[in-house]
Structure 1
Amino acid sequence: MAKQFPHITDTHRDFIARQYVFFTASAAEGARVNLSPKPTNAFRVIGDNAVAYLDRTGSSNETAAHLLADGRLTIMFCAFEGAPLILRLYGQGRVLHRDTGEYKALLTDAFGEEPLGARQIVLLDVDLVQTSCGFGVPLFDYHGERHNLDRWAEAKGEEGLAAYRLEKNARSMDGLPTGLFSEEPAEADPA
């Protein structure tokens, strides 16, 4: 049976700390729903109602576009080993860009050194925590982290990553701006 909580408890924190992967889900009106897997080594609980993850450069930037347009974000963890459980964090998300003081402060406080390919930090202000049974989630054995993204970012280098972000991460697959660049002209004043 599903149970709801107004904040992240110590039990929830312990469960999150034991997981290896989480999933983000976001959407905006008229856009496709986005669902992405992320490694939990990039995830931090930063308060009873706040979490963040360090987002690295990838093939698209759908979550950022959806947060700019709509703000809703759900993060889900599920147990692939041990006792079954699904934990979802619901709320409003926003993106901290690399060139801001807020990004730099949270990076230092919560994550330490910035990995090559870091793109932004995604914050979620959690307004609901929900757990459910997870009885249907299959068991899997964890074998380790993949290092492909690290090797890819290293091969690109800072200049190559910047060019890639400009080409692939400025707009969502549905054409929504991601806010990563100030590529959007200001709306013309109708007056």
Structure 2
Amino acid sequence: MSKLLDHITPTLKEFIENQKIFFVATAASEGRINLSPKGMDSFRVIEKNKIVWLNLTGSGNETAAHLLKNDRMTIMFCAFEGKPLILRLYGHAKIYHNRHEQFNKYVALFDENTGARQIIEMDIDLVQTSCGFAVPYMDFNEERTMLDSWAQKQGKEGIEAYWSNKNTESIDGFETKILGD
């Protein structure tokens, strides 16, 4: 039931564009594995083997810390409505902060967001689909607006202060380099 592909097909690209949530997994060679749900309109397929996602300010910054130690990343999508499907993208990723040229290139692909923290660019080396027969049906009601509201209330200076207090290290003490190289 599982299929392995070397790229994102047009059909899979359309599936990705219709999803409301995806999951990101990273790990350094030691410490904890991180698995995070991501939502909002924060994911773009750039090419058949390249994606970017807008990483918004959150309580932790594990993905950034892990990718600096080990650039492997897995992204998973699940169909919660319609035809069952699980889609995994495997590859190697880079992090771009607002001080990097690539950040400014890619951030233009997304609506402006005060909480924009990083752009993650992933080169995909394997695409896997599987049945998803056991994934439940779930209804999408609406996006949560709390993160956007919170970020707007903080403003740019408040967000940067939050990064300084909460986003410079992972829970395992690995640096994120959010404030500079």
Provide TM-score, normalisation by structure 2: 0.97
Structure-2 residue corresponding to 1:105: 105
Partner of 1:81: 81
Query: Across the two proteins, how many residue pairs are aligned to each other?
Result: 181
- Whether the 8 Å CA contact 2:21–2:40 is kept in 1: the answer is yes
Q: Once structures 1 and 2 are overlaid, which stretch shifts more, 33-42 or 137-146?
A: 33-42
Helix, strand or coil for the counterpart of 1:135? coil
Based on CA coordinates, which of the two structures has the bigger radius of gyration? Answer: 1
Misfit runs of 4+, over 2 Å: none
Deviation at 1:55, TM superposition (A): 0.8
Gaps of 5+ in 1: 184-191
Structure 2 SS opposite 1:175: coil
Tell me the equivalent position of 1:35. 35
> What TM-score do you get using the length of structure 1 for normalisation?
0.92
Deviation at 1:160? 1.1
> What is the DSSP-based 3-state SS (H/G/I as helix, E as strand, rest coil) of the residue aligned with 2:124?
strand
Alpha-carbon RMSD: 1.1
Q: Could you say what secondary structure the match of 2:161 adopts?
A: helix
**Is the contact made by 2:97 and 2:178 (CA closer than 8 Å) also made in structure 1?**
yes
Amino acid at match of 1:129: V
Contact 1:19 1:40 in 2 (8 A): no
Please give the per-residue CA displacement for 1:16-44, whole angstroms capped at 9, x wherever unaligned. Answer: 11111000000011111101111151100
Match of residue 69 from structure 2: 69
Given residue 41 of structure 1, which amino acid in structure 2 is its aligned partner? Answer: D
Q: Is it true that 1:49 corresponds to 2:49 in the alignment?
A: yes
Give the letter for the 2:112 counterpart.
Answer: E
Q: Residue 41 of structure 2: SS of its match in structure 1?
A: helix
- Residue 132 of structure 2: aligned partner: 134
State percent identity of aligned pairs: 51
Match of 2:96 in 1: 96
**Counterpart residue type for residue 119 of structure 2:** I
| Cα distance in 2, alignment partners of residues 148 and 40 from structure 1 | 11
In the alignment, what sits opposite 2:6?
Answer: 6
Question: Counterpart amino acid of 2:6?
Answer: P
Q: Aligned to 1:12, what secondary structure does the other structure show?
A: helix
Label 1:6 to 1:40 Cα distance change in 2 as closer, same or farther (>3 A).
farther
What does the per-residue CA deviation read over 1:157-180, in whole Å, with 9 as the maximum and x for residues that have no partner?
211111100111111000001121
Distance in 2, matches of 1:31 and 1:123, equals: 23
Q: Which amino acid aligns with 1:39?
A: G
* Whole-angstrom CA distance in 2 between matches of 1:40 and 1:135: 25
SS of 1:14 mapped into structure 2: helix
Describe the SS at the equivalent of 1:41: coil
Question: What is the SS of the residue equivalent to 1:122?
Answer: strand
The one-letter code matched in structure 2 to 1:28 is A
Helix, strand or coil: the match of 1:156? helix
- What secondary structure does 1:74 align onto? strand
The one-letter code sitting in structure 2 at the alignment partner of 1:165 is W
